[in-house]
Chain A
Amino acid sequence: MCSRFADRALRAGLVVLAVAALAACPRERRTFHDSPPAASPAAESAKVVRSDSGVSRQGPYGENAYALNQGKQLFAAFNCVGCHSHGGGGMGPPLMDSAWIYGFEPANIYATIANGRPNGMPSFKNRITPQQTWELVAYVRAMSGQGSKAARTNRSDEMEVRSAEAQTTTEKPVLVAPPPTVTPPAQEHP
């Protein structure tokens, strides 16, 4: 009788401990009113702590699932999909492979969105707020598997041609040569 009581007490204690342990898990805080990240990529990357490898840096929102999803929404809302498709590329280069023309660091991607690049990428500097730009940076990195495993995006609404972002295996990003600048052929006058 006594051992049964002890057994029950032990079990109840374990349950209480398990619940307490769950409560101790760090829960991602969703703050809406923090000051938006700095507009200059250099200032922002100075704030980001380098990981042990010294290569991977996530940018201000790389580990914030909410911001990552906002980035995913904005990627469609701001018509990034018009040229890059949902990562597969079209008029613009694909964003879900490991090849990068202008750099894969968050600061590089920020600069690409803000200032534009030759061969068609427009500048969105005065069109998208720095906060939204950093959200897009986080999502673009997640698309190619460069994002953090700690935060993942929602299910996609469009057809999924491969496993979702942040579930893909990370390939080592490589820099490739930019395509030659296209010069329009001289008009032939008849």
Chain B
Amino acid sequence: MRRAMRAIAMMWAVLACAACSLHNAQNALDAAGPQSSRIAGLWWLMLPIASVVWVIVVAVMLWGAARKRSPREAVESRGGSDVLVRDDARDRRMTRIVAAGVIVTAMTLFLMLIADFRVGQALTMAPSTKVVPIKILGHQFWWEVQYPDSVPNKTVITANEIHIPVGTPVVMELSSLDVIHSFWVPSLTGKKDLLPGYTRSLWFRADTPGVYRGQCAEFCGLEHAKMGILVIAQKQQDFDAWRAQQLDTAATPSDSLAQHGKNVFLGTTCVMCHTIGGTAAGATTGPDLTHLASRQTIAAGTLQNTDANLYAWISDPQRIKPGVLMPATKLDPRDMQALVAYLRHLK
């Protein structure tokens, strides 16, 4: 008994640790906006109800398994044949208990159904105020992010990091260019699938500035697990500054190393897939690199954006993300260093 108690205590300790809020961890209960706080509220309603139901069901099951049958219910042998002895009073009592159980269960489920409908209704109601439209395109295994504008050359295109202003609703148009992905940032909103050939919309709002991690939530291929996204909620003026800065063409290299790196980029295989605004590189198969150095991570949230990680990633992406569509690029180490210097220069 004591051993069992100890095991249960250990289990609770492990669960409690798993619930600890880690930096940048995805946590649907750590709500940062009205949508996610409604979803979290639904969870906090359902958890105690489900816990009580679980305790009752397990207790009744254990009681039923452990109790002794009273001799009056037993099958008796009378005059050579087996006869079931009935106890009418007991039958009536049992009928009443079962009926009460059915009614309580139905009412509880109905209560949860109403709560669920109310949350669903609140989540899908379109905002009427000023919104920020954002377009998300799923790729294997990264996210293309576009901020459309009525003036075409004011459209911002970036990847894997979404900047949003705090307090303004964001309306997302989600689609995919290859397979089905699913957009999920637990601290801000529920999931929404990205379907190739369809555009679906999702809206949410962040009320607290911060960095919220999200994850592809629909298996999309070998590197599904390494398809992360960061949502960076900022004050309105920071967001406007970021957006204005993203509209610029790429920074021109200031030193000779970075200049050589630019030549390496434009003269090798990189240009077949990537865009750097303001240069001849304009391919759209891979992520836009115009402002790569302003992003926190590379390879869709897989690595921190540092010189060493960038070097490792370019020289052998298949070791870090096996099955990713980027091929290994064999370059002279000096060229590689110049290339990394150039890419880190693209603020």
> Which positions in A face B, CB cutoff 8 Å?
30, 32-33, 36, 70, 73, 77-78, 126-129, 131-132
Docked pose: A70 CA to B326 CA in angstroms:
11
Which of B57-65, B90-98, B240-248, B315-323 lies at the interface with chain A? B315-323
Q: Is the CB of B269 within 8 A of A33?
A: no
- Residue from the list A30, A32, A70, A126 in contact with B269, Cβ < 8 A: A126
Q: Is the CB of A127 within 8 A of B322?
A: no
Q: Which residues of B contact A33 (CB under 8 A)?
A: 316, 318-319, 322
Q: Assuming A36-B330, A78-B285, A127-B269, what are 7 further A-B pairs, CB within 8 angstroms?
A: A32-B318, A33-B316, A70-B325, A73-B325, A127-B272, A131-B328, A132-B269
Q: Which residues of B contact A126 (CB under 8 A)?
A: 267-269
User: Distance (Å) between the CB of B284 and the closest chain A CB?
Assistant: 9
CB pairs A–B below 8 angstroms (22 shown): A30-B323, A32-B323, A33-B318, A33-B319, A33-B322, A36-B327, A36-B328, A77-B272, A77-B273, A78-B272, A78-B285, A126-B269, A127-B268, A127-B269, A127-B271, A129-B269, A129-B327, A129-B328, A129-B329, A131-B327, A131-B328, A132-B269
Closest residue on chain B to residue A39 by CB atoms: B330
User: Distance (Å) between the CB of B215 and the closest chain A CB?
Assistant: 22
> Which positions in B face A, CB cutoff 8 Å?
267-269, 271-273, 283, 285, 316, 318-319, 322-323, 325, 327-330
Secondary structure call for the A interface = loop
Docked pose: A32 CA to B318 CA in angstroms:
6
Closest residue on chain B to residue A132 by CB atoms: B327
Q: Which residues of B contact A77 (CB under 8 A)?
A: 272-273, 283, 285
Q: Which residues of B contact A73 (CB under 8 A)?
A: 325
User: Distance (Å) between the CB of B316 and the closest chain A CB?
Assistant: 8
User: Distance (Å) between the CB of A52 and the closest chain B CB?
Assistant: 33
User: Distance (Å) between the CB of B226 and the closest chain A CB?
Assistant: 13
Closest residue on chain A to residue B285 by CB atoms: A77
Q: Which residues of B contact A132 (CB under 8 A)?
A: 269, 327
Closest residue on chain B to residue A35 by CB atoms: B328
Q: Which residues of A contact B273 (CB under 8 A)?
A: 77
Q: Which residues of A contact B329 (CB under 8 A)?
A: 129
User: Distance (Å) between the CB of A84 and the closest chain B CB?
Assistant: 16
User: Distance (Å) between the CB of A147 and the closest chain B CB?
Assistant: 21
User: Distance (Å) between the CB of B311 and the closest chain A CB?
Assistant: 17
User: Distance (Å) between the CB of B332 and the closest chain A CB?
Assistant: 13
Closest residue on chain A to residue B284 by CB atoms: A77
Closest residue on chain A to residue B269 by CB atoms: A129
Closest residue on chain A to residue B270 by CB atoms: A127
User: Distance (Å) between the CB of A132 and the closest chain B CB?
Assistant: 6
Q: Is the CB of B272 within 8 A of A128?
A: yes
User: Distance (Å) between the CB of B198 and the closest chain A CB?
Assistant: 15
Q: Which residues of B contact A128 (CB under 8 A)?
A: 269, 272
Q: Which residues of A contact B322 (CB under 8 A)?
A: 32-33
Docked pose: A30 CA to B330 CA in angstroms:
21
User: Distance (Å) between the CB of B212 and the closest chain A CB?
Assistant: 31
Q: Which residues of B contact A129 (CB under 8 A)?
A: 269, 327-330
Closest residue on chain B to residue A130 by CB atoms: B330
Docked pose: A73 CA to B273 CA in angstroms:
12
Docked pose: A147 CA to B223 CA in angstroms:
29
Q: Which residues of B contact A30 (CB under 8 A)?
A: 323
Closest residue on chain B to residue A126 by CB atoms: B268
Q: Which residues of B contact A36 (CB under 8 A)?
A: 327-328, 330
Docked pose: A11 CA to B267 CA in angstroms:
65
Docked pose: A32 CA to B321 CA in angstroms:
9
Q: Which residues of B contact A70 (CB under 8 A)?
A: 325
Closest residue on chain A to residue B177 by CB atoms: A157
Closest residue on chain A to residue B319 by CB atoms: A33
User: Distance (Å) between the CB of B309 and the closest chain A CB?
Assistant: 18
User: Distance (Å) between the CB of B265 and the closest chain A CB?
Assistant: 12
Closest residue on chain B to residue A33 by CB atoms: B318
Docked pose: A127 CA to B283 CA in angstroms:
12
User: Distance (Å) between the CB of B208 and the closest chain A CB?
Assistant: 40
User: Distance (Å) between the CB of B263 and the closest chain A CB?
Assistant: 12
Docked pose: A127 CA to B266 CA in angstroms:
9
Docked pose: A59 CA to B39 CA in angstroms:
55
Docked pose: A10 CA to B196 CA in angstroms:
49
Closest residue on chain B to residue A30 by CB atoms: B323
User: Distance (Å) between the CB of B220 and the closest chain A CB?
Assistant: 15
Docked pose: A30 CA to B322 CA in angstroms:
10
